Amino acid sequence: DGSHVCTHTDISIRKMVEEQFRASERQLRNILEASPIAVGVTQVGETTLIFGNSRLAELFGIAPADLIGCDTTELMLKPEEYEITLKTVAKRGNLRDMEVERTRQDGSRFSVLLSVDIIRFEGKEATLWWAYDITEQKQIRAQLAVLAHRDTLTGLANRRLFQDHLSHSLARTRRKAKEGALLYLDLDGFKQVNDSHGHEHGDWVLTEIARRITECVRESDLVARVGGDEFILVLEESHEPEAVEAVAGKVLDSLARPFVLNGEELVIGASIGIAYFGSGRITPDQLIHQADLAMYRAKRDGRGRYVTFDPKLDDA
């Protein structure tokens, strides 16, 4: 009769809808599994994974078979981060690009951008976790930041970092009523070595000079390469002239030792100008100018020596 036909039709339609729904769920699982981004699923309000793709297992350094049942507060988020995530999702309906740093079981550290969405999964509302690995990008950014502030040949601070450091040093010494010194160093005889032996050998000499200078100062002091054969040292909280002159003498003695290249001894010296800074008002440019004047006086006086700035040099 008609009611039997209607009931049979309803059942057929329901079965078709259920089959389509199961097919769509299988399709969703396949899509999530194939995702190049790490994906995990938990029930809403729960922290236990009910699904995780192979990329999630790879990212967090665990076996794929061990993913299901893992606690996301142990795997992906700290408890306090999880609470922030819940509040954000409850307010906005999702979370976008929260950066977190984690440690794998083997001790290696990595960084991810975490995003969260609410979806339907296996017939119920569920929380979808996306974890995008940004470790390599962060490493590249860090390397670029280093390159932006470091001399590419010697690894010393470049002019940009030096100027920033000097400005802060002047401010700190004024605030603390301390003193410091700036040493302007210009190499003697390097141009001849570079011209006669070529730039490749000249570059080796410069890297060796940078190493020798660095060995003469404290870790807290800054050594910068600000020109082809020009270097600047910033000695903070070095208020005793004897201590500053001892460093200058040590640098001169170190650079006076021959540089042995392919069995040949190359002799290169340096001239150093010293200028002091402290509680008085002086700009970075003024301080550099003072040290530069003293350095040129050292050259005129015979090279291979240091000279401390004297206001009379401005009149010379």
Q: Please list the active-site residues.
A: 229
- Residue at 158: amino acid letter: N
Whole-angstrom Cα distance, residue 174 to residue 280?
7
Whole-angstrom Cα distance, residue 79 to residue 56?
19
Pairing of strands 180-188, 222-225: unpaired
Tell me the residue length of the chain.
Answer: 316
Phi, psi of 157, rounded to the nearest 5 degrees: -60, 140
Helix (H, G, I), strand (E, B) or coil at 204: helix
Cβ(265)–Cβ(259) under 8 Å?
yes
Pairing of strands 269-277, 94-103: unpaired
Whole-angstrom Cα distance, residue 36 to residue 266?
56
Q: Taking each helix axis as running N to C, give the angle between helix 199-215 and helix 190-197, from 0 to 180 degrees, rounded to the nearest 10.
A: 140
Q: Name all contacts of 45-49 with Cβ < 8 Å and 24+ positions apart.
A: 45/86, 46/127, 47/71, 47/72, 47/73, 47/82, 48/72, 49/75
- State the DSSP code for 302: T
Whole-angstrom Cα distance, residue 237 to residue 217?
13
Q: How far apart are the first and last CA of the chain?
A: 121
